[in-house]
Amino acid sequence: MKKSDELNSYQEQFIIEKTDSDEIVVAIAGNPNVGKSTIFNSLTGLNQHTGNWPGKTVSNARGKFVHKNKSYILVDIPGTYSLMASSVEEEIARDFICFGNPGATIIVADATCLERNLNLVLQVLEMTEKSIVCVNLMDEAKRKKINIDVKGLSKLLGVPVVGTCAKNRKGLVDLLDQIHNITVENQKTNTFILKYDNSIEEAIKILEPAVHKNLVGLNSRWVTIKLLDGDVRLINSINKYCNIDILENKEIVSKLQSAREYLNKMGIDNVLLRDKIVSRIVCKAEEISHRVVYYENENYNLRDRRIDRLLTSKTFGIPIMLLLLSFVFWVTLAGANYPSELIFNGFSWVEGKLDSFFIYLNAPWWLHGVLVKGLFKTVSWVVSVMLPPMAIFFPFFSLLEDLGYLPRVAFNMDNFFKKVCAHGKQALTMCMGFGCNAVGVTGCRIIDSPRERLIAILTNNFVPCNGRFPTLIAIISIFFVGAQAGFFSSIISALLLTSVIVLGVITTLAVSKLLSRTLLKGLPSSFTLELPPYRKPQIAKVITRSLMDRTIFVLGRAVAVAAPVGILIWLLTNIYIGELSILAHCAGFLDPFARLVGLDGVILLAFILGFPANEIVLPIIIMSYMSGGSLLQLDDLFQLKELLVANGWTWITAVCVIIFSLMHWPCGTTVLTIKKETRSMKWTLASILIPTILGLSLCFIITTVSRIFIN
């Protein structure tokens, strides 16, 4: 009975829920950076759902489309370079194709580097003949004067091959027709058989009949090769799926032993066998590529190589990266000033009308205060301060992403992370954290090693998210640049903000090193990082996607949190116990400890109340300092500085606020995401305590040193 339960739970991983029994499941596989997601989105549109593979932390996207009155479910298999199952992604991709029994499998390949992509194509074709090869990015190949004989490739592989340019939807109708032909018309494809050395083929002949007899429904030749190879992960998967123990099947064990004895007699052990199998796949891919790919210009990627020599060089790689980051911040700061002022003035005009409306209604003062001075004023501040910078920063970030620069960032940072025994891909998850730390934590799924993934999760919060930028920018502008706007002021602000980011990165490396030597000991693992070709971004699509998927999403979350918090702060500052408001009592309680670390009770309380979202920390500080707990009109940064200085702020306070903003507990959304990803309350608490203790310690040191040497 226990085995039956295990069988059902394992098979559930491959059951795709259907709304109609006639729906056909189609899998889409491919290397990373080949446009697989673009094809998936083009075919399914908005009719898609993203979750996790059961028991895994790898995304599972599926969507639906209709072609020729037939409904299909498209399952996006994790992008991978191989099916040798050395990572979670490879295991999921292999097992779904093997056990999920899709009606067809689309294998997406990059037309500009077909030879390398053919390695995965050949591995999939060894598993299933119900395949379609989609050679994508044909427009880029044409631009680089690379010609591909699609018909010749189809003839060599024995399956349909379609050339596409997914971003322009070219060739997608042909792809849909081929899916229909294989799944509905039952179009026959030729079984692809990759021939190995004579000795390996002889061993296959010894074992395959027993496999074919006992493992019905699986590709007997492919399973035979994996058994000879000693693929433990696949053997375990087959045992669970078929509810048997292969190594207890006397016939299979006997033939497997005979086949291995034969190979040993021929001087082929397990290691050499694996090498020969991989070598044959690589050689076959090279052979096919030479027959179907024609280069008008052999130096088609010379420009990319020259650019990479500069952007990834040991001398210039890091400085250029910092200059680019500073440039993005400068454009964001310089471009956001006027729109922010315009939006805030617009909200102020609306606020005046609301004041008149409530006075006209003769509404109770507390209702007027809660709705206008609390809720509306806080929301208007958050929108005014956050919307313009995000509307500039996110499109720039997305453009760098589309250009192909972010993998170069990971390449430049890889050596630093290797030295602290962390994973090079952590650089990519840090970049994701700029927008939202919760997204950065989710992005840590790309790291295979559980130890290194956990390090990346625990240190992601040291990169300031978009919610912390308003506080950082305001404090830097007021205390270290000067409140006046101007060209040089914005440049200095951008450089100082970049310095804060660099401090966050250095802290990430230091804490990663500490964790690697204490709680999470281990050596760094190697990984394959592809540097994709530089691509001309579709600016209109990038801007639209970044505004809708990132800007509006983050702003909506901030507003949803700011509204109730604005009401709460107004109530806390207007409900009195004795001669002091509730907020004053709370701030007074925290004040002695806060003073030790260079803050005050109001600032520390603002960070605590800002736990749901970092965007509201600065509004809470201002509302707490001002009379009546509302964000009264502040015409410019001069008035804001006067308010802060009047409440005891110095440049030491400003430094400590910046440090603590960079290093304190994650926001509520990020904490929930960490709990979901780690499935551990212990590590969730660690993610809260590590940055908080470090931030408080640094603030204490700065405050103590300044008091000794300055006072």
> Phi then psi for 136, rounded to 5 degrees?
-95, 170
Residue 285 belongs to a domain: yes
Condensed to tens digits (0 to 9), the pLDDT of residues 319-332 reads 999 999 899 888 88
| Boundary of a domain, candidates 295, 325, 340 | 295
> Per-residue confidence at 239, pLDDT binned at 50, 70, 90?
confident
Identify whether 409 is part of a domain: yes
Q: Are residues 504 and 569 in the same domain?
A: yes
Based on the fold, state whether residues 435 and 551 are members of the same structural domain. yes
CB 284 within 8 A of CB 192: no
Q: Domain ends where: 159, 183, 207?
A: 183
CATH number at residue 24: 3.40.50.300
Helix (H) or strand (E) holding 28: strand 24-30
Spatial contact of 649 and 603, defined as CB atoms under 8 Å apart = no
Task: Tell me how far apart the alpha carbons of residues 610 and 545 are, in angstroms, rounded to a whole number.
Answer: 28
State residue 511's pLDDT score: 95
Residue 2 lies in a domain: no
How large is the average pLDDT for residues 567-583?
87
| pLDDT (0 to 100) of residue 640 | 80
Which sign, positive or negative, has the C-alpha torsion 386, 388, 391, 396?
Answer: negative
Question: What is the DSSP-derived secondary structure letter of residue 551?
Answer: I
- Tell me the residue range of the domain where 693 lies: 317-709
Q: Are residues 206 and 167 in the same domain?
A: no
Percentage of the chain lying above the pLDDT 90 cut: 38
240, two tokens = 């669970």
* Residues 278 and 339 reside in one and the same domain: no
What is the rounded CA–CA span in Å between residue 610 and residue 664? Answer: 11
Single residue among 261, 295, 329 that ends a domain in this structure: 295
**Number of Cα atoms under 13 Å in the Cβ half of residue 257:** 9
Per-residue pLDDT at 662: 94
Of residues 484 and 230, more confidence is placed in 230
Q: Is residue 219 part of a domain?
A: yes
585 with 436, same domain: the answer is: yes
Which of 579, 581, 558, 580 has the alpha carbon at shortest distance from 569? 581
- Domain shared by 555 and 696, yes or no: yes
- pLDDT band of 59, cuts 50, 70, 90: low
C-alpha 330/C-alpha 492 separation (Å) is 9
3-state SS record for 46-65: CCEEEEECCCCCCEEEEEEE
Sign of torsion, CA 336 339 342 347? negative
Residues 225 and 204: their CA atoms lie apart, in Å, by 7
C-alpha 212/C-alpha 698 separation (Å) is: 66
300 in any annotated domain: no
What's the pLDDT tens digit per position in 603-654?
999 999 989 888 888 888 888 887 555 555 555 567 788 888 888 999 999 9
The answer to whether residue 307 is domain-embedded is no
**575 and 659, same domain (yes or no):** yes
pLDDT of residue 172: 94
Question: In 10 A of CB 58, how many CB atoms?
Answer: 17
Q: Tell me: the pLDDT tens digits for 652-702?
A: 999 999 999 999 999 988 999 999 989 899 999 999 999 999 999 999 999
| Same-domain pairing of 80 and 172 | yes
Instruction: Give pLDDT, residue 58.
Output: 55
Identify whether residues 590 and 636 lie together within a single domain. yes
pLDDT tier at 109, thresholds 50, 70, 90? very high
E-state strands within 333-413: none
**Does residue 432 sit in the same domain as residue 569?**
yes
Domain presence at residue 76: yes
pLDDT of residue 55: 45
- Per-residue pLDDT, averaged over 76-105, amounts to 83
pLDDT at 686: 95
Please answer whether residues 104 and 124 qualify as being in contact, where contact means their C-beta atoms are separated by less than 8 angstroms. no
Least confident stretch, 48-57, 346-355, 634-643, 651-660: 48-57
Do 250 and 204 fall within a single domain? yes
For residues 40-46, give the mean pLDDT: 83
The single residue listed with the structure tokens 């281990």 is 522
Around 272, how many Cα atoms within 13 Å sit in the side-chain half-sphere? 11
**Are 236 and 148 in the same domain?**
no
Phi and psi at residue 133, to the nearest 5°: -95, 125
Domain count for the chain: 3
pLDDT digits (tens, 9 = 90+) for 397-417: 888 888 888 888 888 888 898
Least confident of 17-21, 102-106, 225-229, 439-443: 17-21
Q: Is residue 305 part of a domain?
A: no
Task: Produce one character per residue of 389-404: b if its CB has 16 or more CB atoms within 10 Å, e if not.
Answer: bbbbbbbbbbbbbbeb
Mean pLDDT of 282-305: 88
Predicted confidence (pLDDT) at residue 293 exceeds the cutoff of 50: yes
What mean pLDDT is reported for the chain?
Answer: 86
Name the pLDDT band for 46 (thresholds 50, 70, 90): low
Write the pLDDT tens digit of every residue in 162-201: 999 988 889 999 999 999 999 998 887 777 889 999 999 9
Lowest mean pLDDT among 116-125, 505-514, 559-568: 559-568
